[in-house]
A and B are shown apart, each in its own frame.
Chain A
């Protein structure tokens, strides 16, 4: 049995130790916001926070996910996460939307650690997240917008 704390709730899962957190979240816990994109930590669609740090859940075995796991489903309740989400909506960032949960998780982790990143810091932080629709310019603008709001909040 594996015990996980996901968005503040305890879950006891009967899964093998090496099952990636991604599949435990999606297929066992039934939380579908975290997406499968590549399985080798190359695209970032599966990004979650473990103790506030952005992690690729597709290569994180459940046995290593010791800590507070936070997923996109909890971002609306998160002060920084909700600002990031609002910036995404204000600027019409998403096209297909599949990668955007992961993008928002990476952006939120960045802004929590560095509330006023410069443009290069945003680009560096976001460069591990792929978007096949090519929304990068709007993602960058939205992260900077959310950071600006963070100042005022």
Chain B
């Protein structure tokens, strides 16, 4: 990463902290607390506006042992995005630590101490890059001060190098470990005095390493958990191994909101190893992150618990579920499609769309459908909870340990102070594990077994049938073109159940954070625009799924822009560049968006110049415009989300039998400054594959309130043969803008780019996802 100035002096934020040394033991140092050390209470945007804010106290995040081992605390969930490596690497680089002597330790859930820990919204690096650099810079300066004191020389004469501090004038040097003890008695330097390393002094940050588009380049700092992962030693949620553990599974009501009418557990209790059958009360709708209720079977091992569950005879009561029990996907889709033909709540309006459509030389109209999807992380939800003597301790793969802590405390009526949540590695999250209902369930069961750890395991069927589903959606668009094919009017109606239905009476309309995901932030420069949001009720638990509402919005808008280009008889790239207009920075507030991913509109405008640049780069790299053989085509899509910019071009062949063969993907990505390009590439590659699944395979459909898919035999996910033969990621060198997200922005443009390529290859327009067998 580079910055415009070589030396960065930090803003004058004066909150000093005192170092309190650890008493006894060899473990040093930088470990105590700095009184409140919270974020800026007045902050309206960014990290400071998040619950818990940011913390940059070196005592909280950096520990140095007298043997020189540097331990850096990671306060964000590791779910595959590589944050445990990348964030620790940022701190280690600024500190000057030898990577081979750095270890990571995972923070327990405690936002008062560690700042915001809710790992979602692609925020980890953009909110924690600066605080971690400041913390490491402060620690480095304390080590320098300790050395200067030891040698009785002015501090400006000493210099921290790699894992040591030197005094060039006398040739003396001391290792970080040698200085650790002395450093602990020093005051933490004030923020205004911190000096961050210049780009030329950095070893890791912003450096291209590892695998770059098929070529192995420079060595990269070894992934913190890499060795443990490949040797089977990495500890995910289910790998927590405590003595006296009992194992539980739960039979949950198949329909959202239903309850247990009766249960006959006599056969279940006969299964060898089954200890107990417990009824769990479900929360009334809206259920938020509370358990759905049902019947838990507790046994000596997971298999016995599953066998016991199979033997239960449960009669469910669908009465409390209301009309959820009648929820079926086909009629629901028809209802939304019908509603999409009538005006809805106006979200944004300029010019006169009705007049534009009336006076159009050509009109284009299309309706797009995206079904429910389940996140289906490879590790199904699982949690271990032990309750004893008024305290609860949980170990779980959660994206938000603070929410898990609150959930347990709330359900069991405990003081959160008495609840500890240890965060394990997550075997994938994708939004599913931001909802800690599975931890709360384990706590409810553990309450019945005082003193014994309960490992509550979800099966894959549980995971898919009781997901917090990605919202089903219908998007209807109409455009008017003039005689030259130029767009004069744009009407977009979007319909999806809202995530807000989880927490409050169903609003039936999308909230600001949902509309702001690419709907009202649509950046095309068209004289007349009207955006509407007709109602759509929720009948299942709707929740965050990686990239969230950007998925349907990008899918519809990017497909439709291509349809307009086709109608206008223009090249798709040229046409969208014209729709975007010249590069300009648009304040989201002027588009009716009050959200902007929580970021300051001045720092994070919607920049059509950056949008143009990713489009131009992806199309150039893909050889846009080249002649394609029959049955093969190039497809483009782009999207702004999580304050970053992505464009993708697919080179696709559709075989006679309808099989989609993806020859190549060219992805251009601009997230501003790049902390760890190696993991950014990996996120783009992974997003590409996941998006291919959204385009071709993923669908959860409902019949009478019950999900029709329950495992990977019918809920299809991409496999190796579905991946592009070649994926090339083109990172835009853009250190001058503010840092954007990485984990999610790669996903939204994948499905529309692929479907646009399918159109280019076959002339067949896909308006309903997934593609499934529509091409055969």
Q: Which residues of A contact B (CB under 8 A)?
A: 15-16, 19-20, 23-24, 26-28, 30, 32-40, 42-43, 45, 71-73, 75-76, 85, 88-92, 94-101, 104, 123, 126-141
Contact = CB atoms under 8 A, between A and B. Distances in A.
Contacts of A91: 210-211, 216
A130 B378 contact: yes
B214 interface: yes
A23 B226 CA distance: 25
Nearest to B678: A92
Given A23-B302, A91-B211, A96-B379, A33 B233 contact: yes
Interface string B93-114: 0000000000000000000000
B711 A42 contact: yes
Contact of B721 (A95, A99, A123): A123
A100 B230 contact: yes
Interface in B448-498: 457, 459-461
A15 B234 CA distance: 26
Given A133-B686, A135-B685, 16 more contacts: A20-B303, A42-B711, A43-B460, A92-B211, A96-B79, A96-B425, A97-B234, A128-B719, A130-B719, A132-B378, A132-B690, A133-B80, A133-B378, A134-B690, A140-B720, A141-B214
A140 B725 CA distance: 10
B759 interface: no
Interface stretch (B3-11, B235-243, B261-269): B235-243
A127 B304 CA distance: 31
Nearest to A130: B717
A98 B427 contact: yes
B62 interface: no
Contacts of A127: 719-721
A37 B460 contact: yes
Interface string B238-278: 11010000010000000000000000000000001000000
B425 A97 contact: yes
Nearest to B78: A96
**7 smallest A-B Cβ distances: which pairs?**
A33-B232, A134-B689, A98-B427, A96-B80, A95-B80, A97-B229, A72-B232
B718 interface: yes
A85, A130, A136 — most chain B CB neighbours (10 Å): A136
B232 A123 contact: no
A89 B230 contact: yes
B712 interface: yes
A134 to B, nearest CB: 3
A81 B183 CA distance: 45
Contacts of A133: 80, 378, 428, 686, 690
Contact of A96 (B377, B679, B685): B377
A82 to B, nearest CB: 9
B718 A134 contact: yes
29 contacts: A15-B301, A27-B301, A32-B235, A34-B232, A36-B380, A36-B457, A38-B711, A39-B711, A40-B460, A40-B712, A72-B231, A75-B231, A88-B229, A91-B216, A95-B82, A96-B428, A96-B429, A98-B378, A98-B427, A98-B428, A104-B230, A131-B689, A132-B428, A133-B378, A133-B428, A134-B685, A134-B688, A134-B689, A134-B690
A94 B685 contact: no
Nearest to A98: B427
Nearest to A45: B378
Contacts of A45: 378
A37 B378 contact: yes
B428 A73 contact: no
Interface in B623-654: none
A114 to B, nearest CB: 16
A16 B272 contact: yes
B230 A123 contact: no
Given A23-B301, A96-B379, A85 B689 contact: no
Given A40-B713, A92-B682, A97-B225, A35 B427 contact: yes
B711 A132 contact: no
Contacts of B717: 130, 132
Contacts of A23: 301-303
Given A132-B428, A134-B690, A137-B727, A98 B232 contact: no
B712 A99 contact: no
A27 B82 CA distance: 29
Given A89-B227, A133-B80, A137-B724, A32 B241 contact: yes
B324 interface: no
B238 A36 contact: yes
Nearest to B233: A33
Contacts, number: 192
A132 B233 contact: no
A43 B376 CA distance: 12
A28 B361 CA distance: 73
Contacts of B721: 123, 127
Interface in B708-738: 711-713, 717-724, 726-727
B220 interface: yes
Nearest to A92: B210
Contacts of B438: none
Interface string B204-226: 00000011001010001011011
Contact of A32 (B211, B232, B457): B232
Nearest to B377: A132
Contacts of B302: 23, 26-27, 36
A134 B723 contact: yes
A98 B381 CA distance: 13
B81 interface: yes
Contact of B303 (A27, A35, A75, A92): A27
B120 to A, nearest CB: 15
B227, B303, B379 — most chain A CB neighbours (10 Å): B303
Contact of B220 (A24, A36, A92, A140): A92
B430 interface: yes
Contacts of A16: 272
Given A92-B220, A97-B225, A42 B686 contact: no
B426 interface: yes
Contact of B230 (A42, A43, A71, A85): A85
Nearest to A134: B689
A73 B301 contact: no
Contacts of A97: 80, 225, 228-229, 234, 425, 427
A101 B232 contact: yes
Nearest to B692: A134
Contact of B81 (A43, A95, A134): A95
B141 interface: no
Contacts of B236: 35, 98
A95 B688 CA distance: 14
B428 A123 contact: no
A75 B379 CA distance: 22
A43 B378 contact: yes
Contact of B720 (A24, A37, A39, A126): A126
B687 interface: yes
A133 B425 CA distance: 14
Given A40-B712, A96-B428, A134-B689, A35 B379 contact: yes
Given A38-B711, A92-B682, A28 B301 contact: yes
B460 A39 contact: yes
Contacts of B82: 95
Contacts of B228: 97
Contacts of A32: 232, 235, 238-239, 241
Nearest to B685: A137
Contacts of B238: 26, 32, 35-36
A126 B233 CA distance: 22
B230 to A, nearest CB: 4
B719 A30 contact: no
Contacts of B430: 132
Nearest to A75: B231
Interface string B180-216: 0000000000000000000000000000001100101
A70 to B, nearest CB: 11
A98 B231 contact: no
A136 B81 contact: no
